[in-house]
Amino acid sequence: MIRKFGQRAAFTLLEILIAIVVLVIGITGIVAVFPTAIKSGNQTVVDSYASLITQSVVDGINVGIREARYRTNVTPGAESWDYFIFEHDGVQDDITDTTPEQYFTVAGLDFCILLPRGQATNKDKNREIILHFPCPADKISARANPTIAALTNLNDEVVNPDGRVRTVADPGGSGIFQFRKTYLLGRQIDKTKNPNPIRDEFLGELIPGSGTSGERLIKDPYPQYSFGFSIRRARIDTTAPRGVLTVADDFSDNLFEVKVKIFRNFNEGMVPAGNGLVPKNNLWIHEFVTLIST
pLDDT band at 220 (very low <50, low <70, confident <90, very high): confident
Q: What would the mean pLDDT of 47-68 be, rounded to a whole number?
A: 93
Q: What would the mean pLDDT of 267-280 be, rounded to a whole number?
A: 72
More confident residue, 189 or 274: 189
pLDDT band at 75 (very low <50, low <70, confident <90, very high): low
Question: Facing residues of 113 across strands?
Answer: 84
Query: pLDDT tens digit string along 104-146?
Result: 766 668 898 988 887 666 666 666 788 888 988 777 777 777 7
Strand runs labelled E in the chain: 2-5, 8-11, 69-71, 82-85, 112-114, 130-133, 158-159, 165-166, 176-177, 183-184, 203-206, 216-218, 225-235, 251-264, 286-293
Per-residue confidence (pLDDT) for residue 229, from 0 to 100: 93
More confident residue, 197 or 172: 197
Query: pLDDT tens digit string along 147-176?
Result: 777 776 665 555 555 555 554 444 444 455
Q: What would the mean pLDDT of 96-101 be, rounded to a whole number?
A: 71
Per-residue confidence (pLDDT) for residue 173, from 0 to 100: 43
Got the DSSP string for 48-75? HHHHHHHHHHHHHHHHHHHHSEEE---S
* Residue 191, pLDDT above cutoff 50: yes
| Per-domain residue ranges of the chain | 39-293
